[in-house]
Amino acid sequence: GIQVEQSPPDLILQEGANSTLRCNFSDSVNNLQWFHQNPWGQLINLFYIPSGTKQNGRLSATTVATERYSLLYISSSQTTDSGVYFCAVGGGFGNEKLTFGTGTRLTIIP
Protein backbone atom coordinates (compact mmCIF):
# COMPACT_ATOMS: atom_id res chain seq x y z
CA GLY A 1 0.00 0.00 0.00
CA ILE A 2 0.89 3.66 -0.17
CA GLN A 3 3.36 4.90 2.46
CA VAL A 4 2.96 8.43 3.85
CA GLU A 5 5.68 10.18 5.82
CA GLN A 6 5.31 13.53 7.55
CA SER A 7 8.03 15.77 8.87
CA PRO A 8 8.91 17.10 11.31
CA PRO A 9 7.10 15.01 13.92
CA ASP A 10 7.13 17.89 16.40
CA LEU A 11 7.48 21.62 15.95
CA ILE A 12 7.55 24.31 18.64
CA LEU A 13 7.37 27.93 17.53
CA GLN A 14 6.79 31.38 18.94
CA GLU A 15 3.58 33.15 18.07
CA GLY A 16 4.02 35.07 14.82
CA ALA A 17 6.52 32.65 13.29
CA ASN A 18 6.05 30.87 9.97
CA SER A 19 6.23 27.12 9.48
CA THR A 20 6.42 24.52 6.73
CA LEU A 21 5.12 20.99 7.16
CA ARG A 22 6.05 18.29 4.67
CA CYS A 23 4.29 15.16 3.44
CA ASN A 24 6.03 12.56 1.25
CA PHE A 25 4.13 9.69 -0.34
CA SER A 26 5.30 6.59 -2.12
CA ASP A 27 2.97 6.27 -5.12
CA SER A 28 0.79 8.31 -7.44
CA VAL A 29 -2.39 9.58 -5.81
CA ASN A 30 -5.69 11.10 -6.87
CA ASN A 31 -6.55 12.47 -3.46
CA LEU A 32 -4.44 14.38 -0.96
CA GLN A 33 -5.90 16.12 2.05
CA TRP A 34 -4.49 18.16 4.92
CA PHE A 35 -6.32 18.10 8.25
CA HIS A 36 -5.95 19.86 11.58
CA GLN A 37 -7.01 17.82 14.59
CA ASN A 38 -8.40 20.07 17.30
CA PRO A 39 -8.01 19.42 21.05
CA TRP A 40 -11.37 17.62 21.10
CA GLY A 41 -10.23 15.17 18.45
CA GLN A 42 -12.19 16.39 15.45
CA LEU A 43 -10.43 16.43 12.11
CA ILE A 44 -10.91 19.77 10.41
CA ASN A 45 -10.47 19.84 6.63
CA LEU A 46 -7.81 22.34 5.58
CA PHE A 47 -7.13 21.50 1.94
CA TYR A 48 -8.13 19.01 -0.71
CA ILE A 49 -5.08 19.27 -2.95
CA PRO A 50 -4.06 16.31 -5.15
CA SER A 51 -2.01 18.75 -7.22
CA GLY A 52 -1.26 22.45 -7.51
CA THR A 53 -1.37 25.26 -4.98
CA LYS A 54 -4.18 26.61 -2.82
CA GLN A 55 -4.41 29.35 -0.22
CA ASN A 56 -6.86 30.02 2.56
CA GLY A 57 -6.00 33.01 4.71
CA ARG A 58 -2.74 32.41 6.56
CA LEU A 59 -2.56 28.82 5.31
CA SER A 60 -1.46 27.60 1.94
CA ALA A 61 -0.55 24.24 0.46
CA THR A 62 1.33 22.97 -2.56
CA THR A 63 1.36 19.45 -3.97
CA VAL A 64 3.94 18.38 -6.55
CA ALA A 65 2.40 15.11 -7.63
CA THR A 66 5.20 14.15 -10.02
CA GLU A 67 7.72 14.35 -7.16
CA ARG A 68 5.33 12.83 -4.61
CA TYR A 69 5.30 15.45 -1.92
CA SER A 70 3.08 18.14 -0.47
CA LEU A 71 3.84 21.14 1.73
CA LEU A 72 1.60 22.99 4.16
CA TYR A 73 2.61 26.56 5.01
CA ILE A 74 1.36 28.39 8.07
CA SER A 75 2.24 32.07 8.29
CA SER A 76 2.05 34.39 11.30
CA SER A 77 1.24 31.49 13.65
CA GLN A 78 -1.34 31.94 16.39
CA THR A 79 -1.83 29.87 19.52
CA THR A 80 -5.04 28.49 18.01
CA ASP A 81 -2.93 26.87 15.28
CA SER A 82 -1.59 24.43 17.87
CA GLY A 83 -2.55 20.81 17.39
CA VAL A 84 -1.73 17.90 15.14
CA TYR A 85 -1.64 18.26 11.37
CA PHE A 86 -2.27 15.20 9.24
CA CYS A 87 -1.64 14.53 5.60
CA ALA A 88 -3.71 11.75 4.03
CA VAL A 89 -3.59 10.32 0.52
CA GLY A 90 -5.85 8.16 -1.60
CA GLY A 91 -5.61 6.37 -4.91
CA GLY A 92 -8.75 7.68 -6.59
CA PHE A 93 -11.84 6.13 -8.12
CA GLY A 94 -12.33 2.58 -6.99
CA ASN A 95 -9.76 3.10 -4.25
CA GLU A 96 -11.05 6.06 -2.29
CA LYS A 97 -9.86 5.08 1.17
CA LEU A 98 -7.28 7.39 2.74
CA THR A 99 -3.91 6.44 4.14
CA PHE A 100 -2.79 8.81 6.87
CA GLY A 101 0.64 9.99 7.86
CA THR A 102 1.61 9.97 11.53
CA GLY A 103 1.14 13.71 11.83
CA THR A 104 3.10 16.79 12.87
CA ARG A 105 2.41 18.11 16.36
CA LEU A 106 2.62 21.91 16.27
CA THR A 107 2.87 23.91 19.48
CA ILE A 108 2.68 27.71 19.30
CA ILE A 109 4.01 29.50 22.36
CA PRO A 110 2.59 32.95 23.21
The residues of the shown chain that bind other proteins, judged by CB under 8 A, are: 30-31, 33, 35, 40-43, 45, 48, 86, 88, 90, 92-93, 96-98, 100-103
Integer distance in angstroms from the first to the last C-alpha of the chain?
40
Residue among 58, 65, 76 nearest 2 (CA): 65
The minimum distance between CB 68 and other proteins, in angstroms, equals: 18
Closest CB to other proteins among residues 33, 77: 33
The minimum distance between CB 78 and other proteins, in angstroms, equals: 23
The minimum distance between CB 103 and other proteins, in angstroms, equals: 7
**What's the rounded Cα separation, in Å, for the pair 17 and 62?**
19
Closest CB to other proteins among residues 13, 98: 98
Give Cα separations from 55 to 21, 47, 48, 61, 75 (angstroms): 15, 9, 11, 6, 11
Residue among 94, 86, 102, 88 nearest 38 (CA): 86
Closest CB to other proteins among residues 63, 77: 63
Closest CB to other proteins among residues 58, 97: 97
The minimum distance between CB 100 and other proteins, in angstroms, equals: 4
